[in-house]
Amino acid sequence: MSVNDLLYAYGKTFFAVLEKNHANIFSLYSGPLEMLASIENHIHVEVRKLYPGAELPTFRIIQQDDNSLEMMYYSDSSMYMFTKALMEQTFAHYHENSRIELEMVQENGTQVRFRIYKEPHAVS
């Protein structure tokens, strides 16, 4: 298994821990795009209160509207696939469909552009 595949699998599993131990945070947001847009200015602020000195990635919003979010990810740890898994699980938590594209700005994964789209629900 590659490191990225392992990080992705870990992100999927770790999300369940977040849902169990921090369920209240999800009720603060109306949906996944709103929650993901708040990572830097709210969620990571709260994480740093619980875990001072935690080395967290930085996120910068490039563009946002009702159906999409474009953000830059910056991290020396290059755990962008962990991040992608958390993003996908956030959509699943809110019972919404998504399409998440990533663009490697730095080949080593320290800078990645995420384009996140809220997709319409499939009609049965």
The string of pLDDT tens digits covering residues 54-112 is 889 999 999 999 999 999 999 999 999 999 999 999 999 999 999 999 999 999 999 99
Q: Amino acid letter at 26? A: F
Give pLDDT tens digits for 13-67.
999 998 998 888 898 999 999 999 999 998 888 888 888 888 899 999 999 999 9
State the Cα torsion 68-55-11-115 to the nearest 10°: 20
| pTM exceeds cut of 0.85 | yes
All structural domains of the chain, each given as residue ranges with its CATH number in brackets, are 3-119 (3.90.1520.10)
User: Of 117, 119, 120, 34, whose CA–CA distance to 70 is shortest?
Assistant: 117
Q: What is the pLDDT of residue 85?
A: 97
| Band of residue 117 on the pLDDT scale cut at 50, 70, 90 | very high
